[in-house]
């Protein structure tokens, strides 16, 4: 798929400035390659990048394409392709998604709670560029006890109004506050 467009919000022409800044795989850091690009949107509003590691585990990331309504969408695309080693001729956003295939990178994923399902899932955070000589990174971050409890429907007990730490817990009746102490 050929991506075409012009930046509308980004005025920077030095693409290197975007190097810094921003399912199967759990949260953590992993050395991966772009295994495939999927086109599953009839209107060509986005494409899906399939990242895979040496263990055969995958993570899919949907990436919107130009034109954009917001500046952060434009910046996200520039940072993504820059960190994957694709050179753009900014302000032009033209590139072929086939250039992304087999590009190595370090994928950073974080845990995010899905309230509808009551479960945590791994969510795309950012990509660190892969440099020659970098070793393979495989650092999953396991769910902690609090996350597991939250998934099992166990919530933390909330503080009671009768708690000892509540300064108004033992007040019987109205609370006497001088009008001089009120800010209004």
Distance CA 18, CA 29 (A): 20
Q: Averaged over 121-132, what is the pLDDT?
A: 88
Neighbours of 24 (CB within 10 A): 13
pLDDT of residue 106: 92
Question: Does the bond joining 67 to the residue before it have cis omega, within 30 degrees of 0?
Answer: yes
User: Which of 7-11, 139-143, 164-168 is predicted most confidently?
Assistant: 139-143
pLDDT above 50 (res 22): no
What architecture is domain 2-151? Beta Barrel (2.40)
pLDDT above 70 (res 160): no
Domain ranges of the chain: 2-151
pTM: 0.69
Question: Does the bond joining 34 to the residue before it have cis omega, within 30 degrees of 0?
Answer: no
Q: What is the dihedral of CA 4, 85, 107, 7, to 10 degrees?
A: -30
């Amino acid at each position: 798929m050929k991506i075409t467009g012009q930046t509308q919000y980004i005025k920077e022409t030095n693409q290197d400035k975007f190097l810094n800044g921003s399912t199967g795989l759990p949260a953590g850091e992993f050395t991966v390659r772009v295994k495939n690009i999927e086109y599953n949107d009839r209107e060509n509003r986005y494409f899906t990048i399939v990242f895979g590691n040496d263990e055969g585990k995958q993570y899919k990331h949907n990436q919107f394409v130009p034109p954009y309504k917001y500046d952060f969408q434009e910046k996200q695309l520039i940072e993504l392709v820059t960190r994957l080693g694709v050179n753009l001729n900014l302000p032009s956003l033209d590139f072929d998604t086939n250039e992304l295939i087999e590009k190595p990178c370090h994928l950073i994923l974080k845990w995010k709670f899905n309230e509808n399902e009551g479960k945590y899932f791994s969510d795309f955070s950012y990509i660190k560029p892969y440099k020659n000589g970098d070793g393979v990174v495989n650092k999953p971050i396991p769910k902690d006890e609090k996350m597991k409890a939250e998934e099992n429907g166990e919530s933390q007990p909330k503080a009671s109004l009768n708690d000892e730490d509540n300064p108004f817990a033992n007040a019987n009746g109205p609370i006497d506050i001088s009008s001089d102490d009120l800010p209004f």
